[in-house]
Amino acid sequence: MSTRYAIKEGFSGFTRAKLSTIISIFTVMISLLLLGVFAVMTINASRLIELIRDKVEIEVFLQEPLTRQDIADLEMRIRSLEGVERVTFLSKDDAARIFKEEFGEDINSVLSFNPLPPSFKISLKEGHRTSVKAQSIVDGISKLKSVDNVVYKKALLELIDQRTATINNLTLGLGVLVSLSAVFLVSNTIRLAIYAKRRLIRTMELVGATAAFIKLPFLLEGLFQGFLGGIVAACALYVLLEYAAPFVSVEFATFIHVQPIFYVLVVCTGVILGLVGGMISIARFMKPLRTH
């Protein structure tokens, strides 16, 4: 019986204070929509950053002369370093072929000999494609025998690291801001509901109603508001990503991708915002009412 009463009272806010309820749901929806857009941007920016990181390779130029055994031993030592995913050996002939593909000239005909040294190209494991960890691997390789020079795109990795930190901090700050806005509006709506029922709450306390029995309807009201805001936001995001994005650019729409679970998380976030708003309102405004 208490559960049925709590659900009935929780829904009663939708008819009792229509305007404030609609405003709360709309605020939750807008907040989640903004959070969703920022999340999509962050997820896909991270994917793009990882694609760029994946292209960054370490090149190890070797001293000559070298025997096959020297090359094999050096390759084994490089592979044993933490963070190294793949090692590819390029002979002098391989280097000359790459030079011709990139510059259109046969270096042997230009200089009558091949000055290009043999080298290793090294790909890094995921999680080690940062400037700090890449530099650590470079330092380890530089100490090995027969290594002449080690180069990689250090400036690019440092720039990526800086921009990634900036994007993450910006997204976190905006996410906190819009979440607090949603919680505040839901809390304010629940506060109005509590004030409107202050005499009923006092009567229920006098007849021995438990605190949980009194609070549950207001918690459910916040939950319902958050849930509805989450549903509307998830639908809006789906339409925006699946139907509106292709009108902007087909390539852009193809790149942007989220898993179906993302929309479920949007709804769950709405429920959490609604519950938190309800809990804050109950904690702040129910105690004062008991003293009147």
Whether residue 142 is found in the same domain as residue 171: no
Say how far apart CA 56 and CA 156 lie, in whole Å: 9
Whether residue 40 is found in the same domain as residue 172: yes
DSSP labels for 174-214? HHHHHHHHHHHHHHHHHHHHHHHTHHHHHHHHHTT--HHHH
* pLDDT, tens digit (0-9, with 9 covering 90-100), for 133-162: 999 999 999 988 888 899 988 888 888 888
What rounded mean pLDDT belongs to the chain? 78
Whether residue 68 is found in the same domain as residue 47: no
Whether residue 232 is found in the same domain as residue 173: yes
- The pLDDT value given to residue 292: 47
**What values do phi and psi take at 260, rounded to 5?**
-55, -30
CATH of the domain at 67: 3.30.70.3040
- The pLDDT value given to residue 291: 47
- The pLDDT value given to residue 231: 92
Say how far apart CA 232 and CA 28 lie, in whole Å: 9
Q: pTM here?
A: 0.61
- Would 193 be classed as within a structural domain? yes
- Would 160 be classed as within a structural domain? no
Collect all residues with Cβ–Cβ distance below 8 Å to 157 and sequence separation of at least 6: 53, 56, 129, 130, 131, 134
| Structural domain that includes position 249 | 2-51+167-290
Whether residue 64 is found in the same domain as residue 8: no
**Residue 217: cis peptide before it, omega within 30 degrees of 0:** no
Residue of higher predicted confidence among 255 and 29: 29
Q: Where is the domain boundary, 93, 125, 152?
A: 152
H helix or E strand, kind and range, residue 149: strand 147-151
- The shares of helix, strand and coil residues in the chain, as percent rounded to the nearest 5, are 75, 10, 15
Whether residue 285 is found in the same domain as residue 183: yes
Whether residue 267 is found in the same domain as residue 171: yes
- Would 157 be classed as within a structural domain? no
Whether residue 45 is found in the same domain as residue 92: no
* pLDDT, tens digit (0-9, with 9 covering 90-100), for 43-99: 777 777 888 888 888 999 998 888 889 889 999 999 999 999 999 998 888 887 887
Residues 43, 222: contact at Cβ < 8 Å? Answer: no
Dihedral angle of Cα 204, 206, 212, 215, to the nearest 10 degrees = 50
- The pLDDT value given to residue 249: 62
Whether residue 66 is found in the same domain as residue 43: no
- Would 161 be classed as within a structural domain? no
* Start-to-end C-alpha separation, the chain: 28
Q: Stretch 267-287: mean pLDDT, rounded? A: 78
Q: Where is the domain boundary, 121, 152, 183?
A: 152
Whether residue 31 is found in the same domain as residue 102: no
* pLDDT, tens digit (0-9, with 9 covering 90-100), for 5-29: 556 655 665 566 667 677 777 877 8
Whether residue 88 is found in the same domain as residue 125: yes
What is the SS3 assignment for 25? helix
Residues 96, 114: contact at Cβ < 8 Å? Answer: yes
Domain count, the chain: 2
